[in-house]
Amino acid sequence: MAEAALTHDAFGRTSDSSDLLFLDIDGVLHPVGVDYSFSSRFFSHLPRLEALLREFESVDVVISSDWRLAESIEQLQQYFSDDIRHRIIGATPQIDPNLVVRYRRQLEIQTWLDGNGRSDAEWVALDDWPSNFEAGFTRLVLTDPKRAFDQDSFQELRSHFLRFAAGR
């Protein structure tokens, strides 16, 4: 796998040049309403996402799902295949749930980008909740929560990754 180039910004912080996928889980990696403890549909779309990540090795993953509030990054990494889990590099911060904000997930992503010196990174969000983003937000691949990460959203996400690769 090609390693992302490490750089230092004006403040001496280390950042890398990898592209980023901000990943939701419910309604993306499996349809909503799945009985997680007994269903074969639990994480049923993860193999499709991992195949795409294997094709685009420059893309790292940041968990933006509410799962980040209940499980550590190390626990979340365990859902992924051995060759992918090291690319799960973090999770977005939680904005105070008592604070009324518009486009909460989009704001959490921007907060992560700013806090990690990655404001200029190429990135896309894969999510099933449109109200968490501005209408028409171009960095969002929206899944249908009942179909999750289907072939249509796969192709849309792949087109973002191809754009990232073309910009390198």
The DSSP code for 92 is: P
Tokens of 66: 């509410």
pLDDT tens digit sequence for 17-75: 699 999 999 999 999 875 655 555 688 999 999 999 999 999 999 999 999 999 999 99
Cross-strand partners of 88: 61
Q: Is the per-residue pLDDT at 11 higher than 50?
A: no
What sign does the CA torsion over 66, 70, 76, 78 have?
negative
Q: Which of 54, 50, 63, 71 is nearest to 21 (CA)?
A: 63
Q: Which of 21, 33, 23 is nearest to 147 (CA)?
A: 33
pLDDT of residue 97: 84
Question: What's the CA gap between 89 and 23, in Å, rounded?
Answer: 11
End-to-end CA distance of the chain: 16
Mean pLDDT of 91-103: 90
Question: What's the CA gap between 127 and 149, in Å, rounded?
Answer: 9
| Residue 24 contacts residue 65 (beta carbons within 8 Å) | yes
Where do the structural domains in the chain lie, given as residue ranges? 16-166
CATH code assigned to 16-166: 3.40.50.1000
Determine what percent of the chain is predicted with pLDDT higher than 70: 85
pLDDT of residue 6: 36
Q: Is the per-residue pLDDT at 156 higher than 70?
A: yes
CA 3 to chain centre: 19
Burial label, 45 (beta-carbon count in 10 A; 0-12, 13-18, 19+): buried
Tokens of 154: 């796969």
Q: Is the per-residue pLDDT at 5 higher than 80?
A: no
| Residue 122 contacts residue 20 (beta carbons within 8 Å) | yes
